[in-house]
């Protein structure tokens, strides 16, 4: 009798707990709660970089605000191009990439695409812009992009979007470097410090740690674009926009440095359900303060800025935009919404 009573009591307790869990898991914005949280991942970047910080931050914010829907982990990866490959192959649900890599993904001409157009990629939300930063030691005598003739120039990792785009741009502009140096941006800054290279180019949200560290021991010069160079870049690559590296970004910048910017986006695979991308986009846009605690550049996370995408938006993102009264151009609608 005692055993039966204990069993009945245990069943009641378990039932009460289960009912409590069901009532606790309230739907958000009418999206049905899954039977258990989806185990999703965010493809970020290498340790210490902005992509790495943002990947961890996005996972943390989504787990905090949508625990009944998701359990996100952040993946350490080789960066934007590697992230897009993972998304195309359904090896991650979200990933961070620059517009230049997204541009190459749609054309399938860069080496890293292996000749295939990546048709499964969709933008979820804009994250932050990066400024093109061309820097040298002040002692180098390099004051214009034309001065890169005959010099050793760092263009980041070989085969990445910036490397291929600016190799072509140098050729278009009649600039013939003595050598292109390919390595990670931190190692490139060290190479400049050691006199191995003369100049380096990267896209970053300033201040970039490796440049600031170099500037602590060396006097630097930041090279501005001319009207012609700026126009040529934006005409050929429509994801570039006018920009200026702000005063105070580095010690050597006493007045704004004319350059171009490109966006970093949170990208999703097309197979991720629209309901879930809608929740992800909504949550990130409406909890920006949480992301700013991770990195100040998160202040640029808005649904309006997401119109800067150069690949189709995810259906879930389009839904959130329309909910906010934003007109979505036809060119940004995904194929699945045009059927």
Q: How far apart are CA 327 and CA 187, in angstroms?
A: 43
Q: How far apart are CA 24 and CA 22, in angstroms?
A: 5
Q: Which long-range contacts (CB under 8 A, 24 or more apart) does 33-39 make?
A: 33/68, 33/69, 34/68, 34/69, 37/67, 37/68, 37/69, 37/70, 37/71, 38/69, 38/70, 38/71, 38/276, 39/70, 39/71, 39/73
What average pLDDT does the segment 298-310 reach?
96
Q: Picking from 19-28, 50-59, 108-117, 122-131, which range would have the lowest pLDDT averaged per residue?
A: 19-28
Confidence at 5, pLDDT banded by 50, 70, 90: very low
- Give the chain's mean pLDDT: 91
What average pLDDT does the segment 255-279 reach?
97
Judged against a pLDDT cut of 80, whether residue 22 lies above it is answered with no
Judged against a pLDDT cut of 80, whether residue 193 lies above it is answered with yes
Confidence at 111, pLDDT banded by 50, 70, 90: confident
What average pLDDT does the segment 57-71 reach?
97
What average pLDDT does the segment 42-47 reach?
89
pLDDT of 10: 44
Map tokens 């190479």 to a residue.
191
Report which of residues 184 and 93 the model is more confident about: 93
Characterize 169-190 residue by residue with b for buried, 16 or more Cβ atoms within 10 angstroms of its Cβ, and e for exposed.
bbeebebebeebbebbbbebbb
Q: How far apart are CA 261 and CA 131, in angstroms?
A: 4
pLDDT of 29: 87
Q: Which domains does the chain have, with CATH numbers?
A: 38-128+264-337 (3.40.190.10), 131-262 (3.40.190.10)
pLDDT of 185: 87
pLDDT of 3: 45
Judged against a pLDDT cut of 70, whether residue 23 lies above it is answered with no
pLDDT of 164: 87
pLDDT of 24: 52
Angle between helices 99-107 and 80-88 (to 10 degrees): 40
Judged against a pLDDT cut of 90, whether residue 26 lies above it is answered with no
Structure tokens at 52: 């790495």
Question: Which percentage of the chain shows pLDDT scores above 70?
Answer: 93
CB 188, CB 212: distance < 8 Å: no
**pTM across the whole model:** 0.85
pLDDT of 250: 96
Judged against a pLDDT cut of 60, whether residue 59 lies above it is answered with yes
Residues 129-144 have pLDDT tens digits of 999 999 999 999 999 9
Specify the pairing of strand 70-75 against strand 38-43: parallel
Judged against a pLDDT cut of 80, whether residue 48 lies above it is answered with no
Q: How far apart are CA 87 and CA 83, in angstroms?
A: 6
pLDDT of 270: 96
What average pLDDT does the segment 150-158 reach?
92
CB 101, CB 160: distance < 8 Å: yes
What average pLDDT does the segment 93-99 reach?
97
């Amino acid at each position: 009798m005692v055993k039966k009573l204990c069993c009945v009591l245990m069943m009641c307790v378990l039932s009460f707990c289960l009912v409590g869990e069901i009532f606790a898991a309230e739907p958000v914005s009418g999206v049905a709660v899954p039977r258990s949280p989806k185990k999703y991942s965010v493809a970020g970047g290498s340790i210490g970089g902005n992509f790495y910080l943002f990947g961890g931050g996005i996972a943390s914010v989504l787990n905090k605000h949508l625990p009944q829907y998701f359990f996100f982990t952040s993946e350490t990866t080789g960066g934007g191009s590697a992230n897009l490959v993972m998304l195309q192959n359904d090896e991650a649900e979200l990933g961070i990439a620059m517009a230049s890599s997204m541009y190459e993904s749609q054309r399938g001409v860069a080496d890293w695409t292996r000749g295939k157009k990546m048709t499964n990629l969709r933008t979820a939300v804009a994250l932050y812009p990066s400024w093109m930063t061309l820097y040298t030691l002040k002692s180098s005598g390099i004051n214009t992009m034309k001065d890169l003739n005959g010099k050793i120039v760092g263009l980041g990792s070989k085969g990445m979007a910036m490397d291929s785009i600016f190799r072509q741009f140098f050729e278009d502009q009649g600039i013939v470097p003595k050598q292109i140096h390919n390595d990670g941006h931190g190692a490139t800054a060290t190479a400049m410090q050691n006199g191995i290279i003369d100049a380096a180019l990267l896209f970053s949200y300033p201040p970039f740690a490796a440049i600031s560290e170099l500037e602590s021991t060396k006097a630097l010069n930041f090279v501005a674009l001319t009207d012609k160079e700026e126009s040529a870049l934006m005409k050929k690559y429509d994801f570039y926009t006018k920009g200026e590296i702000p005063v105070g970004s580095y010690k050597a910048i006493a007045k704004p440095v004319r350059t171009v910017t490109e966006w970093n986006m949170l990208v999703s695979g097309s197979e991720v359900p629209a309901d879930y991308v809608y929740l992800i986009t909504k949550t990130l846009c409406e909890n920006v303060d949480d992301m700013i605690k991770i990195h100040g550049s998160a202040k640029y996370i808005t649904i309006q800025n997401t119109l800067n995408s150069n690949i189709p938006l995810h259906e879930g993102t389009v839904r959130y935009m329309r909910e906010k009264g934003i007109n979505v151009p036809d060119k940004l609608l995904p194929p699945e919404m045009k059927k």
